[in-house]
Structures are given as structure tokens and as C-alpha cells.
Amino acid sequence: MNQPDTILDMGRISKAYAGVPALREVSFSCERGKVHALVGENGAGKSTLIKILGGAVQADSGEIRFKGRLFTHLTPRLSLDMGISIIYQELALNPYLTVAENIFLGREPNRAGVIQTRHLRQQAAELLGKLHVQIDPDAPVSELTVAKQQMVEIAKALSRNADLIVMDEPSAILVGEELEQLFKTIQSLVAHGVTIVYISHRLDEVFQIADTITVLKDGAVVGSRPREGLSHRELVQMMVGRSLEEVYPAPIGQRGEPVLVVDKISNARLKNISFTLHAGETLGIAGMVGSGRTELARAIFGADPISSGTITIKGRLVNHASPAHAIRNGMALVPEDRKAQGLFTALPIRQNITLPILNRLTRNGVLQSKRETQVVEDARHKLSISMANADQEAQFLSGGNQQKVVLAKWLETRPSVILMDEPTRGIDIGAKFEIYQLMRHLNEQGVAILMISSELPEVLGMSDRILVMRDGQLVGELPRETATEQAIIERATSGVEVS
Amino acid sequence: MVLGATSSTAHTLRRFVVQYGVYVSLGLLLIAALILTPNLFSEQTLTVLLKQSAQLGIIAIGQTLTLLVAGLDLSVGGVIFMTSVIIARVSNGVDSALPLAIGLSFLFSAVIGLANGLLITKRRIPPFVATLAIFILVQGAVQAYTRGVPGGFVPEGLSVVNQSAGFISIPVVLWVVLTALFVFVLRKTPFGRRLYAVGSNADTASLSGLNVDRFKIAAYILCSLLACVSGVVLTGYVGYVDRFIASGLDLDAIAAAVVGGTLFTGGRGSVLSTMAGVLLIQILSTMALLLGLSIQTQFIIKGVVILAAVALYSLARTD
């Protein structure tokens, strides 16, 4: 089986955490000098597989053949020494050191223990030159954009003579042309014989860059196919076992009374914003990152102050002074950054879900555990949250299940308006589909949803109407029927230099 | 799936260490004491041991609360000193003035807790700095008030705290009752749940509708009040006013909470395991004493135990 140009061959790798299998006899192999995409939903086992390759996690069984050498286990040291470099989403750079110092951290060229600064700088410059990027080797890393920091990580991998570079969701932190630059870099690396394993949620990218695509699902390989001849449709079907048309459920098509009226609100980040949200409607908000979308949601929810304008819910002037106030008026906010603002990762699922409704579960000042358990069990069934038990800490759930926990928390407060900021970010397609279904179901019950999203297919697929933001202002409203990606992008960017 | 089973066992073991490690250690230590220093269980030794544990333990409950909201309180020593001075000065040895003196102590303690809480929440001063500054300020203010001469007398009536039936004394009863109360509050009331939420993630808590500052301030006020309770007990126990009355207790209380498994980063810990942490530290000290080890050796042992506990927890918490 081992062809001469196969650099990596992971065979029948199995791994279980706390008895729950994360990988089941997964086999994954890479041809030298090619780009291999690894796709799959969150919790499909991609990260576990990569951690095993990096030596951070030990497989329960299976073997790894790398450059002809056979291993049953790798350690982080061994993995690095063998020429495997893994670039995680959270970059591992020291912000206070310079680019050159970061690249050679711990391996600085030295004479008798004294670092040869000139050599260090020179070698760093050479490496960066190879990547065709303009980065000053003397700049402190903290002054670089995230995209450039990522390039420094790649240079670091090259400095270790890496033969195989794994990029874990590299595009998640990049915008527009930065991604193009990354792709150029990847192509030049591949041309020099470096093998790339590219992990991503975004299928468009995968099609653009990969030679081979391997799909993981529920800890097993669904298939490994050359990109040539594989269609987008087939890939989605491999990932979810469901076709693309069925992903966005049709809108219910009729809207009720106005519930939320925002009239000329302004603050440091928002200028004169007015719109009306109706019962049973999903209103999409599109715009570039930094256009004020998140700030709009926060201002409506009372998390940030507004300097002028009015917010009315069901005819009553509210102008929320705090989130507590907004919640009492029937609002909920599903924040963009799930782990930092939506969840208590270290607390049990139970405590995450019932926090806003503790008073309802209390009799004579004492929490009624039975009623609480009932609430959590109901939520678990309603949202099909897959969890070991209600006392499991939220951090151990997959992204999709974590988001369901956040939604469950808010559904218990029976809101009439839900603000959703990137409701499906970092979530696998299967869970996305379930969340879309849930949103429609809420619409049917008359709940109004304000959905902020950077994913245009999602905006187009889910919204009854689409508002476009730019520089803290509303710059357009598009009805569902006539909205296109092109129309949204034009409004979101006009007046701004594109490219 | 044999391998899967072992990894499940490892996971269960880790959870066990985090949740029950301190109780198991306490049990093992008691067995060791039975063999090495059986006279630890004599009524006299046990009475003193428990009384001292109670003084520390009552402070440690409060300290656990501030740790739960990702803070800590270095000012408890100041609160205790202030309490003893107020009791001696205001009552001046007269029993009937005791309620007033204790009442005033509680009032001032609450104000100190409020000051800590406001500095930390409204002015965003790190808890370490804010409470250290308040500690120095309170010490200074009290000494300015006494002009460096501890005046007044501790009323006879307060020596009631020294009475005991067997090895059960009033401070011990207070400690147990307060611990039980806070176990209940933290587990079974909305306030307790919200306190954990605020300590676990203040941003999420705020976006979930909690007034984060209010809960943090409450934790500091409660911590000060509990220190005041301990101050009253200590004053009765010592019988005179001393600037160093609480010296060592403040940091020991933090150590006890940490040994019990409470995290500095907030949101994790319990007052019951803090109680076990207190007993662990006190029994170790007493054993060292009974074994005739020097005070220096005792400190070394204490330090090693704290480090060992923290190392064990962090090992068990990393997968």
C-alpha cells in the first residue's frame, strides 16, 4: 500500500475520551507535495486526529507511518523533529518578541550562548522572502495583523524544515485578500515539496486549494476523494447526508405586528439607525466585519448605551439601560463569541441553561432541583442537545451543542425578540441545519429574529428582508425576492476601496 | 474498546481527585495521626485544634466567596484587628456594652467590604492591589485612633467563646453552622448560582442579565462580615488587643481554600472543601507540634502541602 510518494499514512487510528469514541479506525494518508483538505463537522474528529499527529494526544490504537518510519505514538518533540508542524487557530507567538525572535525561539543562532542578532535577522528575512511576504523581521509580533502573524507561524514551520504543515482553520481569522495571499503561499510551499493538510469549514476554499478532500463524520472517514470530479453538492452530502437545497427551510412568508421599532438611534459606533422588526419575521443584517452590526445588537440589548434615538417594544418605549432590562422586556441576545460571551464553559450545562430563569424555579428562596432537571431535560429533547448528562461542563460539548445550550437558555425566557449574532459560526453543517429549523419554528410561533451574519448564503437563505450596514449606518434594505450576494456586497462596500 | 474503558477510568479518577481529593487526604492524614501522634486525639489537644480551626475556618468561608468571583481579600487581617480594638474601646470591659461594640464592628466591616467591592468593580482596581491598600489603610486608621496604645478591656462576657462541652466549643459550632449555611446558599439559592456564574464568566453573566458588580460587591461584604465574626471570636479567645492578632490567618485562609480545590480564576470551589482544607492545614501544624518539629519545619511542611495540592489539582484538570 505504501507508495513511494506517500509522506504520511495514519492507519486505523482509534481514540476515545472518557469512553466516548472520538475516532474509530480512521485512516488518513497524504501524498508528498499536495494539499489535503480535511473537512467535517465540529466533533467529527478532525482536531483529535491532528492532535495525535502533533503528539499532543496519544491514540488508543493504530499506527502512524511518516517518511517511511513507523510509530505507534508520537510526542510533541518527536513530531516536530520528524518535520511535522501544526499551526493552530490560536497562534502560538510571543507578542512582545520580534518576528525574527519568534521564528527562532529556542533555536536562536548563537556563538557560545550569545545570540547572533545579525544572523537571526538575516535568516528570518530569507525565510519571509521565500514566502513572498513583506514583514519586517524586527517588528514586534503584536504590531502585525493576524494574517501576517500567521505568515510568521508558517516561516517558523519552515525554519524547522517542516515537510508537513497542518493548518487548522487558517481562514477563520482572515479576510478578503489575506486569504488570497495565504493561498499563494500554500501554492509556493507545495511547489517546493512541502505537504499541506488544510482544515476548514468553508467548502468554497477547500475546492479552491485542495488536491484531495477527506471527509470525517462522527469519528470515521466517510470518504477520501480527489477534488477533480467532486461536486460541491456531493461534498455537502458526504458531510451531512443531506442535500444543499434542504439546508435552508423556506420562510413562513407572512409577518405579524411590529414588535421592535428602532428609531434614529446613535452612539459612538452607530449613526441614526431606524428599522422595524415584525412578529414572525427573520430580519437579516449583513455588512463587513466592523460595520457596526454587533454594536447595533448590543445597543438594542442595553449592553452598550445609546446617545440618542428611541427603542420601542410592542408600543412601549424601552431604551434599555442594561441587558437585565432588555430580558425583562422579552429580548434575548445570542452573542457572536460563544465561548467568551454566550456560555459559562466551566459550569455544568444545567447551570448554563437555567441561569436567567432561576427565580421561576425557586420556591421560598430555595431552588427546586427536580423542576430544574425537568427544564433541562425538556430543552435537551426539544433541541436534541447531545450531552452525557446535565452536570457535564459546557466546555466538553461540540460547537453546535454549545450553541444549542445558549439557545436553550434563551428559549426558557420565552422571548418575543431574539437577536442572533453569527448564530452558526464555527458550527458543523448538521447543527446549522437544526438551528435553521429552530429559527423557522420560532418564526411560526411569532418570535421575531434579528440575524447578523457574515455568511451570505445564510443571510439570503434565512432572511425575509435584509438590511445592509456600512460604517455604523444602514445603507440599504433588500427584499428576499430580489436580494443577491452581489447586491449585498455592493452596498456593504461601496465608497470603500475594494481590493 | 478495552482502551476506551481505561481512558474512561482515568477521566473518572481525575474528577474524583478534583472533587474529593481533599477529603481523602484528610482521611489519610487522620490515619497517619493515629499512628504517629495518637495524643492528637486527646480531648485537650482536639479542643484547641478545633477552636483554632474554627477561627481560621470562618475567615476561609469568606475568602472562598471572594475567590469564587475571581478575586481575593487581603484586608481581612485589618478587619479582625479593627474588630478587636472596637470591642475593647467601646465596651471597655463592660459586658452590657458588648452588643453595641459587636454591632459597630459589623457595621465598619461591612463598610470595608463595600469599599473593597467598589474599588474592584467601579474603579477596576485588581483585587490584590485594592484589598492590600485597604488593609494598610485600615491598619493605619485603627492605629491612628488608638495612637499606638491598645486601650480598653475585653469584657469578661466574651470569654464565653472559650467554653466548651467536650471538644465542642462555641467557635466550632459557629463555624459548622456558617459552613452549612453557605453550602446551602451556594448550592440551593439563586444568589449562589449567580455568584458562580459571575465568577465563571463575567461577560456572559452580564449578557445573561446579571448585575455583575453587585454580586462581586456582595462577596466582599460577606467576606468582611465573616472576618468580623472571626475577629469577635479571636478577641474573646485571646482576651486582649493585639495588632498581630490575625497575623498569618489571612493568608492561611486563602491557602485553606486553595488546598480545598477552589480556583484563583473564579467560578470553581466550595465552602465544604474549604472546611476540609482548613482541617488539613491545622492538623498538619498540630502534628508537627506534637512531633516536636521546629516552627520553621512547620512552615516548610505547610508550604509543601499547598504546592502539592495545587500540583495535584492542576494535573487532574489537564486532560
Q: Model ipTM?
A: 0.87
For testing contact with chain B, the best of A12, A15, A17 (most B CBs within 10 A):
A17
For testing contact with chain B, the best of A60, A376, A419 (most B CBs within 10 A):
A60
**Quick check: A331 pLDDT over 50?**
yes
Determine how β-strand A35-40 pairs with β-strand A212-217: parallel
Sorted by where each begins, the domain ranges of chain B are 23-313
**Quick check: A428 pLDDT over 80?**
no
pLDDT band at A358 (very low <50, low <70, confident <90, very high): very high
Which of A24-38, A101-115, A459-473 has the weakest average pLDDT?
A101-115
| Residue B8: predicted pLDDT | 60
The verdict on a CB contact (< 8 Å) between B4 and A61 is no
**Quick check: A42 pLDDT over 70?**
no
Q: Which triple of cell numbers denotes residue A263?
A: 428609531
The verdict on a CB contact (< 8 Å) between B194 and A335 is no
Which CATH number is correct for A6-244, 3.40.50.10140, 3.40.50.300, 3.50.30.30, 2.60.120.10? 3.40.50.300
Is B206 within 8 Å of chain A by CB?
yes
Q: Which residues are paired to A310 by β-bridges?
A: A263
**A73 to chain B, closest Cα gap in Å:** 14
| Residue B156: predicted pLDDT | 85
Fold of A258-493: Rossmann fold (3.40.50)
**What is the rounded radius of gyration, in angstroms, for the C-alpha atoms of chain A?**
25
The verdict on a CB contact (< 8 Å) between B210 and A359 is no
CA distance linking residue B114 with residue B131, whole number of Å:
11
What number does CATH give the domain B23-313?
1.10.3470
Which of A73-77, A327-331, B10-14, B220-224 has the weakest average pLDDT?
B10-14
Quick: pLDDT tens for A276-309: 999 999 999 998 878 899 999 999 999 999 999 9
**Quick check: A7 pLDDT over 50?**
yes
Q: Find chain B residues with C-beta within 8 A of A345's C-beta.
A: 200-201
Sorted by where each begins, the domain ranges of chain A are 6-244, 258-493
| Residue A412: predicted pLDDT | 92
CA distance linking residue A172 with residue A89, whole number of Å:
8
**Residue of A34, A37, A58 whose CA lies nearest to A48:** A58
Quick: pLDDT tens for A78-131: 998 899 999 887 778 888 889 999 998 888 877 878 888 888 888 899 888 888
Is A173 within 8 Å of chain B by CB?
no
The verdict on a CB contact (< 8 Å) between A343 and B210 is no
Is A341 within 8 Å of chain B by CB?
yes
CA distance linking residue B137 with residue B131, whole number of Å:
10
**Quick check: A223 pLDDT over 60?**
yes
Is A340 within 8 Å of chain B by CB?
yes
Alpha helices in B87-126 (DSSP H): 98-121
Q: Find chain B residues with C-beta within 8 A of A358's C-beta.
A: 190, 193-194
Give the C-alpha distances (Å, rounded to integers) separating A432 from A425, A437, B61: 9, 9, 45
Average pLDDT, chain A: 88
Calculated CA dihedral for residues A211, A212, A216, A220, nearest 10 degrees: -160
**Residue of A456, A448, A446, A428 whose CA lies nearest to A40:** A428
Q: Find chain A residues with C-beta within 8 A of B267's C-beta.
A: 344, 346-347
pLDDT band at A244 (very low <50, low <70, confident <90, very high): low
Low-confidence ranges of chain B (pLDDT < 50): 1-6
Quick: pLDDT tens for B259-271: 998 988 888 899 9
**A410 to chain B, closest Cα gap in Å:** 9
Quick: pLDDT tens for A186-214: 998 899 899 999 998 777 788 889 999 99
CB neighbour class for B170 (10 Å; exposed up to 12, middle 13-18, buried from 19): middle
- Is the C-alpha dihedral spanning B269, B274, B280, B285 positive or negative? positive
Q: Find chain B residues with C-beta within 8 A of A373's C-beta.
A: none
**Quick check: A260 pLDDT over 70?**
yes
CA distance linking residue A301 with residue B255, whole number of Å:
41
The verdict on a CB contact (< 8 Å) between A60 and B205 is no
**Quick check: A231 pLDDT over 90?**
no
